[in-house]
Structure 1
Amino acid sequence: MRRPFLRVVTATLAVVTSMLAISGPVLAAPAGADPGVVVSPGMEILQDSNICTLGYVDPTLRVAFTAGHCRGGGPVTDTHGNVIGNMAVFRDNTPDGATVTTDQVIADYEAIVLADNVSVNNILPGGQPLESQQGRVAQLGEPICHFGIVTGESCGTVERVNNGWFTMTNGVVSQKGDSGGPVYVKDGNRAVVVGLFNCTWGTFPAAVSWQATGDQIREDVNTGSSDVVSNVAVNYKAQLLGAH
């Protein structure tokens, strides 16, 4: 999926109340949220007609991440139409076209504040917990895996590390719908997130760097153009900025 350059920070009143709920009174979840719904990495999500894969999920902050080009109007739902949350901020400058140079900076993330009455965990469909580790980035030639709702888990190696993104080969596959899915390295009985799936450039599946995404989130939350975002509770901002 290709998108022209776009850098936007946006939020709705529902998102702000969800954010404030982290540091204040428990507020009502968006209408339609189902307390029986479990939100976890690797699950299918829908925004308007866009079907994508959820990437990293932080159970403590109750914030989830997917690709920015997956965004749509209205709330984020699961495959059954249950509301799981609302978009808070995003960035997407995925180049429009088949040609991309390795020195281009590619940003493609969306942060979703989760509804108060959905259950949250960080367990991948295969049963491994997906964790975020400060400073962990993809290394050239190392084993790596990706999970998408269409192709499931596929593993290979890091083909090249570029400017805020990287490509994969030797077994990693993807199809439309896998966008935003977690890209991770395995460490014993756990997985460590190193990227969010972006798209395929030529023959190489590509992901944006999780470390670079964290830097972009810090920048967007601190300097976002939206007055709504600038009024987010201070201690929530501190938590989000320290989450990567």
Structure 2
Amino acid sequence: MVARFSLGYIVSAAAALAASAILAPVAAATPGVTVSPGMEIRQASNVCTLGYVDPAARIAYSAGHCRADGPVTDREGNFIGTVSTSMDNTPDGAVVRTDQVISDYETITLASDVVINNILPGGRQLVADTAPAMAAGQPVCHFGVVTGESCGSIERVNNGWFTMENGVVSQKGDSGGPVYMPVDGNKAVIIGLFNSTWGTFPAAVSWVATRQQAGADIGVVNVAAAQDANASATAN
């Protein structure tokens, strides 16, 4: 077992599983606001990093423990979307067994008028293509709004989450940020969302496990309902 240190700026104590869905119409964003992976997002007093943006579905992902009441905004306070589903069963201020399953994600239904791209701050396109099976020693990078991009290797693969070493760093505010494998000079494949630090090792939840969990959660189905409600409200 390893000790955990949370990396959200301000997060509530939530050792139990938390899941919810919001079906209200999505409000309009400030014109010209761009949403992209690796950007800073704010939810009430919580400051985190956006992990992945799906341009087709207009849904973004970050860490579930970043969730707070109210809308999601960028660092300037511009509205970008609403949390549609969130889940976090990360042990709080304790230890975790390496065989324990960790779920820590939120989906954000993006406002209809935000500009979306999938380009990381460093210029690489972040894609959700199939990645090699994760194993210790594989190269990996992480982007957080506080530490920027740092690269190293996978330290250990656990049950739906993994730890990193050899250069990967993190600070408060990096939670939810993308963890990825660079595949060429202009592209990176997402493999996880940054979760926390366990012992001395930065850790992330697996992207594959997150997508599987999201697909099983009823709240994800309700994302489409929220978009339909928004379209209906706009039409009326």
* TM-score after normalising by structure 2: 0.86
Which residue of the partner structure matches residue 204 of structure 1?
201
Give the unaligned 5+ runs of structure 2.
1-5, 7-12, 229-236
- 1:117 corresponds to which residue? 113
| Cα distance in 2, alignment partners of residues 70 and 229 from structure 1 | 20
Matches within 5 A, 1:22-101: 30-31=27-28, 33-101=29-97
Report the alpha carbon displacement of residue 86 of structure 1 after superposing the two structures with TM: 0.3
Which SS does the other structure have where 2:163 is aligned? strand
How big is the shift at 1:97? 2.3
Decide whether the 8 Å contact of 2:141 with 2:149 is kept in 1.
Answer: yes
Q: Which has the higher strand share?
A: 2
Query: Does structure 2 conserve the Cα–Cα contact (< 8 Å) formed by 1:42 and 1:55?
Result: yes
What's the C-alpha RMSD, in Å, of the aligned pairs?
Answer: 2.2
Q: Percent identity?
A: 61
Ranges of 4+ aligned residues in structure 1 off by more than 2 Å: 134-139, 228-235
Following TM superposition, by how much is the alpha carbon of 1:10 offset from its aligned partner in structure 2, in angstroms? Answer: 1.7
Structure-2 change in CA distance of 1:233 and 1:110 (3 Å): closer
Cα distance, 1:133 vs structure 2: 1.5
Contact 1:145 1:154 in 2 (8 A): yes
SS across alignment from 1:89: strand
Point out the more displaced range, 177-186 or 139-148. 139-148
What's the TM-score once normalised by structure 1's chain length? 0.83
User: How has the CA–CA distance of structure 1 residues 137 and 108 changed in structure 2, closer, same or farther, with 3 Å as cutoff?
Assistant: farther
Instruction: Tell me the secondary structure at the aligned position of residue 212 of structure 2.
Output: helix
Higher RCO by CA contacts (8 Å cutoff, separation 6 or greater): 2
